[in-house]
Amino acid sequence: MRKVLFFMPIILLACCCWTSQGEIFTSIGQMTDLVYTEKELVQSLKEYIKAEESKLAAIKSWASKLDALTRVSTSDPEGYLAHPVNAYKLMKRLNSEWSELETLVLQNPSDGFISNMSIHRQYFPDEEDATGAAKALMRLQDTYQLDSEAFSRGKLPGLHTNALLTVDDCFDMGKTAYNDADYYHAVLWLQQSLKQLDAGEEAVISKADILDYLSYSVYQMGDLPRAIELTRRLVAIDPKHDRAGGNLRYFERLLTKQLNEMNQTYQPPSEEPIQLGTYSRPKDHLPERETYEALCRGEGLQMNEARRSRLFCRYQDGKRNPRLLLKPMKEEDEWDSPHIVRYLEVLSHEEIEKIKELAKPRLARATVRDPKTGVLTTANYRVSKSAWLEAEDDVVIQRVNQRIEDITGLTVDTAELLQVANYGVGGQYEPHFDFSRKDEPDAFKRLGTGNRVATFLNYMSDVAAGGATVFPDFGAAIWPRKGTAVFWYNLFRSGEGDYRTRHAACPVLVGSKWVSNKWIHERGQEFRRPCGLTEVD
């Protein structure tokens, strides 16, 4: 088809010249013109071939790169996505880079490719997903105090891989933060983008663009001297830049005014590069943020020898429960007060795989219960995918429910369904209470089963790094161990909430965290866990 399109004009031009035999010789000038026309057509044809070859070479390069990537990713999808940089780059590729390839192919439409793109596009992550993946990396950066270079070079605690971030990746990270008015993270990632570009790494983005965003972000962080220095670099590169000249004059006037008001002299900006710690991280809604994140890093733990001496391990038969007599549960104390225990070998590998198999098709963004309405809704402080499984779904779920009842001695007839959650890149659940407080009396009103008296949490995977369950109030951290479960009471025997049990699921740094939990309610426990005589019994 392409040959017909390109050679048709040549035939038409020849017909125009050969209108009569006499004009063959008397219109040499026109013939000469035809020679040059043909030459132009040949040149045009060469340019077309060159463009096609260039496009094909670009597509081949894409195919080669993606073939290598997908061979690695499909060999162990969960292991591949366990690395947060891999998860982020997958989101970024499917959100933007595949669209760039589509545009390239559309320059000369390919029905097969476009058809495939149309079919699969409905499953692609959208802009919000890509932004969420970027924010997940920033969340990990904050929690585990990782600088942008460590992330960019794939150097995570205990792990060093070739999952690298390019200049353009780092710029996109910075721009994501910038667009969200998060200038703290914008500075960190734009600075890393500039650093890699200055080191000679190739990029699509220009240095002027990076300096433009970086200088304004630094200004927003209150560092006028450095903002001026960066803007001067921008003006030197691009003297006609739309904003640079005006920004520079404004920054200089503002700095002069500040110095005059404080009766100070100008001090040149620090020559130290911008890095983690250069600027203070803005405070947010979470009062125990620093304590929570320190515990996630394994810092600030309040376990000491005196407390450790009060912790024991034992066999637990559920008060002579027939199902546990021959094979009692192995129970370990994790904390003394409030009492938190871990049970070993609660779930077998086969049971875990069955639960995951049942949950995967149903996984959806995890929700929290609105304290005012009691309605389930999504929230930024809980980032995971979850599914709810009923006993009728499979005999394994029936067996797990019965096992929880046998171990705890509490009825699960009034408990919530078994909730299965998967925490991927940056997945977390910030500090929260499992029980409803006095200012939210209607939280579980629709269930009609009272408050959440206890939590039974199954760990269904090991996690390479991060993902601990932490209790900021008393400085405890419990690390996931596949097949084990932890249990604690959320309420005192009086029915009053134990506010010490405020806890969090730390962001997963490396790995994929699978858990399932059973929230056990008050109703039906009247004779299994009788009331105490005081509020804190």
- Which pLDDT belongs to residue 193? 97
- Indicate the pLDDT class of residue 443, thresholds 50, 70 and 90: confident
Mean pLDDT within 33-42 = 61
Q: Hey, what's the torsion of the CAs at 422, 184, 153, 169, to 10 degrees?
A: 80
Residues 209, 247 contacting (CB under 8 angstroms): no
416 DSSP 8-state letter: P
pLDDT digits (tens, 9 = 90+) for 276-313: 889 999 998 899 999 999 999 999 999 999 999 999 99
For the record, the structure tokens of 365 come out as 């963004």
Per-residue pLDDT for 373 more than 70?
Answer: no
Nearest in space to 483 (alpha carbons), one of 457, 455, 459: 459
Q: Looking at mean pLDDT, say which of 42-46, 125-129, 358-362, 490-494 comes out highest.
A: 490-494
Q: At 17, phi and psi to the nearest 5?
A: -85, -30
Instruction: Select 289-521's CATH number: 2.20.25.90, 2.60.120.620, 2.60.40.1930, 3.40.50.300.
Output: 2.60.120.620
- Indicate the pLDDT class of residue 6, thresholds 50, 70 and 90: very low
For the record, the structure tokens of 501 come out as 């049990």
Instruction: Select 145-262's CATH number: 1.10.357.140, 1.25.40.10, 3.40.50.880, 3.40.50.1110.
Output: 1.25.40.10
Per-residue pLDDT for 511 more than 90?
Answer: no
Mean pLDDT within 22-51 = 54
Per-residue pLDDT for 191 more than 90?
Answer: yes
- CA 214 to CA 226: how far, in whole Å? 10
- CA 14 to CA 34: how far, in whole Å? 8
Nearest in space to 479 (alpha carbons), one of 466, 491, 492: 466
pLDDT digits (tens, 9 = 90+) for 472-499: 999 999 999 999 999 999 999 999 999 9
- Which pLDDT belongs to residue 22? 36
The domain segmentation of the chain, as residue ranges, is 28-122, 145-262, 289-521
pLDDT digits (tens, 9 = 90+) for 454-476: 999 999 999 989 999 999 999 99
- Which pLDDT belongs to residue 12? 33
Q: Which secondary structure element, helix H or strand E, spans residue 478, and what is its range?
A: strand 476-478
- Which pLDDT belongs to residue 38? 64
Mean pLDDT within 71-75 = 90
Strands 382-383 and 452-459: unpaired
Per-residue pLDDT for 235 more than 70?
Answer: yes
Cα dihedral across residues 91, 289, 152, 161: positive or negative: negative
- CA 296 to CA 280: how far, in whole Å? 20
Nearest in space to 506 (alpha carbons), one of 283, 303, 341, 295: 295
Please, what is the average pLDDT of the chain?
Answer: 86
